[in-house]
Structure 1
């Protein structure tokens, strides 16, 4: 086919990829993840996949049947819609703009059903195999609507799973509840629609958090958008701030540039206004972390001081019970002081975090990595490398979340380049590479 005939489809393919948050390399990795076994065995190397994708986008050749299927699966759509619509219609997953349109929810259900079929329902998406999976999904789709107490209990259960279980396992049940609540919202005559939207915003926030832990950043960003837009639709200021603070906080783990995170916090503060609130205080804590990543340690410590003074002594219950906990103050102190190399403050904060009764496993690992970071910043490159390697090496494989490995990368970034080939830093880099989680499919 002449190049001029394929140029427009090529630009559309590029627009679709960018709209779904993929780099070329990320899309190539996704192809290898989602390909059915019969196709996966025949796929070329990642480098050749990247070359093929670039060729499609440059209009050098058009996707054949295999690649049309892979693109459709990667973008959770149909081949017909993907290859027969203009680039301006590319719609990232997770938009809540169709909240009032039942077919939007039907489309998400179709995507989930498609994922069940493609992944064999046990290869990492939704747990059980075969007929058991069909029965589980059927029970979700045909169950009676739940009342608000049941949905709030579900939020608490999913938060507990997020903090205590491997992220892939926590994701499995949450996906089914997302499908269930979306169907309930669209039930004719539903009187609690606003309350259900509040639950949807909360579950979407937890889902985006889990996707961040899995390193599926493109998907997480789309679900942050869903959570944010849904929260806005409820008019609940505290909920809107909770979502925005959570989104900005997730951005600190390689999901976004720290400068972008600062912009997100500033926009959230504009929404918060002058009224003191828990959300406003926590936004300041996120700002302090972002300033630390940017190397603006004096500003980070001033902002940390504001955060500590504004944080309440009695942390109130929220839509997701126990979502905010007092250890977030000490965790932020550990982050900021360790980044600045202030050992006394970092040690005291870390000890208080580790003494917390209900500790997220990520906090336990990350404050120990903060200790390693502080050691490196103070000049102890070998000792800090060994500390960080020991923390990562001790983690069970299923708990090696992206949000932990990213703090490990912060330790590595603090090591001067000319010293990274010393034996201890080199060994740490090998451990860090082996613990990096595999990015999952977009959802």
Structure 2
């Protein structure tokens, strides 16, 4: 839990250290599902901070540890692997992992699909799908997951909602509306409470900005996004 919080705050180095301790303890305990969950969550550090290849390797270790039974850990591992493969341009592997994640999610028992630290609820599932599908350029499906995740999110889920809105902005850019994409991302960042303006949300928005061709940098909406990111 400490590692997850440090990840959300942008403390990458400290998060990896805590995850390493958690993974070692989980492995020594013999609890394969807990070990898989820790590895899958650890994979989200490189995934969200620019090292998707390393994330894919960790996610695959998590999938091996979890096995094929429909558990929250196995579902999470497949969803994180899908995101990592999508970001590395391995579309076939990403779609295969997405199909596995959906199949496992549909078969989860009640206690495995609860909205808890170790559960994999529908809201969390669509948050992962949103990012993977956005990276794959499947914007229609991505929007469906974004809408569903936002509908299931509470008003206090500021971080997750912001990431979903930035994904939606990235979809607009992929569909050719760069101006609207920048306006949406800027609004999402501006609406965040100061405590939630961490490296996690900044990195996701910066990924969008870097995907914009340089010839658009002089446009007002693009400049406004750049100014928010530089603040």
Is it true that 1:305 corresponds to 2:99 in the alignment? yes
Alignment deviations for residues 52-111 of structure 1 (CA, whole Å, 9 cap, x no partner): xxxxxxxxxxxxxxxxxxxxxxxxxxxxxxxxxxxxxxxxxxxxxxxxxxxxxxxxxxxx
Residue 263 (structure 1) aligned to one of 57, 66, 86:
57
Alignment deviations for residues 283-323 of structure 1 (CA, whole Å, 9 cap, x no partner): 110011111211333432332122111113544259x9453
Q: Which residue of 2 aligns with 1:246?
A: 41
Between the two proteins, the alignment pairs up a number of residues equal to 227
- Larger-Rg structure: 1
What CA distance in whole angstroms lies between the structure 1 residues aligned with 2:108 and 2:72?
Answer: 11
Is it true that 1:427 corresponds to 2:224 in the alignment? yes
Residue 418 (structure 1) aligned to one of 215, 218, 225:
215
What CA distance in whole angstroms lies between the structure 2 residues aligned with 1:317 and 1:378?
Answer: 36
Give the 3 Å change call, closer, same or farther, for CA 247–315 of structure 1 in structure 2: farther
Q: C-alpha displacement at 1:276, in angstroms?
A: 4.3
What CA distance in whole angstroms lies between the structure 2 residues aligned with 1:301 and 1:417?
Answer: 30
- 2:152 aligns to what SS in structure 1? coil
Contact 1:337 1:345 in 2 (8 A): yes
What CA distance in whole angstroms lies between the structure 2 residues aligned with 1:383 and 1:408?
Answer: 14
What CA distance in whole angstroms lies between the structure 1 residues aligned with 2:87 and 2:218?
Answer: 24
Task: Identify unmatched segments of 5+ residues in structure 2.
Answer: none
Query: What is the RMSD of the two structures over their aligned residues, measured on CA atoms?
Result: 2.2
1:226-245 matched pairs, under 5 angstroms? 226-245=21-40
1:93-108 matched pairs, under 5 angstroms? none
Contact 1:315 1:326 in 2 (8 A): no
What CA distance in whole angstroms lies between the structure 2 residues aligned with 1:288 and 1:210?
Answer: 23
Contact 1:289 1:300 in 2 (8 A): yes
Choose between structure 1 and 2: higher helix proportion: 2
TM-score, length-normalised on structure 1? 0.48
Contact 2:82 2:97 in 1 (8 A): yes
Residue 376 (structure 1) aligned to one of 153, 157, 173:
173
Alignment deviations for residues 119-155 of structure 1 (CA, whole Å, 9 cap, x no partner): xxxxxxxxxxxxxxxxxxxxxxxxxxxxxxxxxxxxx
Q: C-alpha displacement at 1:274, in angstroms?
A: 4.2
